[in-house]
Chain A
Amino acid sequence: MFSIHSVLRITAAIAVLQALSVSGASAHCYAGSRFFPATLVSEDPCVADELSLPTFTTIRTPGSEEEPRTRETTYSFDFAKRITPDFGIGMGRSYVKLKPDGMPTVRGWDNLEVSAKYQLYTNAAHEFVFSVGVDADIGGTGSRRIGSESFSTITPAIYFGKGFGDLHSGLNYLRPFAVTGVVGYGIPSRASTLGLDENSDLSIERNPHTLNTSFSIQYSLPYLQANVRNTGFGSIFNHLIPLVEFKFETPLDRGQRGQTTGTINPGFIWVEKKFQIGVQAIIPANNRTGQNTGVIAQLHFYLDDIFPNSLGKPIFGGRP
């Protein structure tokens, strides 16, 4: 797959990048002794240098009178880069494969997503992080074959993370718990879009504003091991963070008010020094969302630990 020359060139480039740097780096998502992992379904509360490659999801969507049941599979990547220690930008894209029952498979790239986030407040003693940001789904950059939107959606959001390490020592075994969450307001660039229905008749689809909420409940075994009690479970368990994520989207207007859809995502994240692996179920939260269970899995790299002196540090203000 790779020629020796190309591998040598790449290796040399990395060495140069690392040598060029001045020392200095900061943490990924830490608040005091609390580490918040990169959650799979919702955005984590911190600004960081990180790469998710790939995120894999598969789920079977229910059929209707007009459409057959469809196996939907996506392969995504997300890249986030700190510009300053507290401000970062990100981008991501998904390759989507749709396999309707009894019909040919349709493939294509979904719309480009870009984001910016500012980490406003971090309280180490109370293991608390608060950030603000905006996410944009750029309309028209994806394939129409897979149903990518022709309009953009801008979503300003707030992000938070809270660890419970500050609980009274009588509640020691609750201290490894943490919650993270995101609340966003989705603003479509067009109120409605024209399309063709299954009979090739012109149809109008209305695009509502949406309230997007997601949160996670985590129990950190690494935290338990380092801050509460040596469990003796062994190294495999000492890297494990069981969690449940919840994600909901609620239309707020344009004839769809209150028609919430969402998923519940139990699973685990296994945290290593420089990467993490997450596997979670995708369970529809109500009938409107669907009835079948899917899977999401992700390999996520901590670039600040892999390339602490080059790609993994802020462009400006290297050491916070």
Chain B
Amino acid sequence: MRKLFRVVIVSLALGVSPSALFAHATLERASPPVGSVVNGSPSQIRLWFTEAIERRFSEAVVIGPSGNRVGRGSASGNQLVISVPRLGAGTYRVNWRVRSIDGHKTEGSYTFEVTR
């Protein structure tokens, strides 16, 4: 029993150590920030995740005030970058779905507002 307990403790210690890099990728921050109001159009939208993400299985789209898609993102490292045209005033929704490099899938959605 004591030996089993040792195995469990050492295994967990190794597993949660900083050197073990993989976990669910969750949104750490974004630019423009989640729920923010920005003055003028951003040139791009950037999302930072807590883990590296798989490029082929990770994506984000930006939906404009009229419901049309205004941008689509591409992944690199722990970021998703979405190039957008000049955005008019209104509320924009960012829908993202990513897969971390160990296969865990996560998704989310948030809005930001552009003012003139």
* A interface, CB within 8 angstroms of B: 1-2, 6-7, 10-11, 13-14, 23-28, 30, 32-33, 35, 51, 53, 124, 169, 172, 222, 225-230, 273-275, 301-302, 304-309, 319
* A252 CB to nearest chain B CB (Å): 38
Which of A30, A51, A226, A319 lies in contact with B103, CB distance below 8 A? Answer: A319
Chain B contacts for A51, CB-based, 8 A:
8, 12
Known interface pairs A6-B6, A273-B24, A273-B50; 9 further A-B residue pairs with C-beta atoms within 8 A, sorted by A's residue number: A10-B10, A10-B11, A14-B14, A23-B103, A25-B104, A172-B35, A227-B34, A229-B35, A301-B12
Contact B34 A225 (CB under 8 A): yes
* B23 CB to nearest chain A CB (Å): 4
A33 and B106 contact, Cβ closer than 8 Å, known pairs A7-B10, A222-B26, A306-B20: yes
- Scan residues 11-36 of chain B and give those whose CB is less than 8 A from a CB of chain A: 11-12, 14-16, 20, 22-24, 26-27, 29-30, 33-36
Query: Complex Cα distance A306/B18, Å?
Result: 11
Q: What does DSSP make chain B's interface, helix, strand, loop or mixed?
A: mixed
Query: Complex Cα distance A93/B98, Å?
Result: 37
Chain B contacts for A10, CB-based, 8 A:
6-7, 10-11
* B22 CB to nearest chain A CB (Å): 6
Contact A307 B27 (CB under 8 A): no
Q: 5 tightest A-B contacts by CB? A: A229-B35, A306-B15, A230-B33, A33-B108, A273-B23
- Scan residues 33-61 of chain B and give those whose CB is less than 8 A from a CB of chain A: 33-36, 50-51
Chain A contacts for B103, CB-based, 8 A:
23-26, 308, 319
Closest to A225 in B: B34
Query: Complex Cα distance A254/B70, Å?
Result: 66
- Scan residues 71-106 of chain B and give those whose CB is less than 8 A from a CB of chain A: 102-106
Contact B23 A11 (CB under 8 A): no
Contact B108 A227 (CB under 8 A): yes
Which of A27, A28, A30, A306 lies in contact with B12, CB distance below 8 A? Answer: A306
Query: Complex Cα distance A169/B65, Å?
Result: 14
Closest to A228 in B: B35
Which of A53, A275, A308 lies in contact with B22, CB distance below 8 A? Answer: A308
A33 and B107 contact, Cβ closer than 8 Å, known pairs A306-B20, A309-B102: yes
Query: Complex Cα distance A21/B61, Å?
Result: 33
Query: Complex Cα distance A236/B29, Å?
Result: 14
Which of A2, A274, A275 lies in contact with B6, CB distance below 8 A? Answer: A2
* A53 CB to nearest chain B CB (Å): 7
Query: Complex Cα distance A225/B36, Å?
Result: 11
Interface: B115 (CB within 8 A): no
30 A–B pairs (Cβ distance < 8 Å), ordered by A: A10-B11, A11-B10, A11-B14, A14-B11, A25-B103, A26-B103, A26-B104, A27-B104, A27-B105, A27-B106, A33-B107, A51-B8, A124-B107, A225-B34, A226-B110, A227-B108, A227-B110, A228-B110, A230-B30, A230-B36, A274-B16, A274-B23, A301-B12, A301-B15, A305-B24, A305-B104, A306-B15, A307-B15, A308-B22, A309-B102
Chain B contacts for A302, CB-based, 8 A:
23
* B3 CB to nearest chain A CB (Å): 8
Query: Complex Cα distance A172/B103, Å?
Result: 30
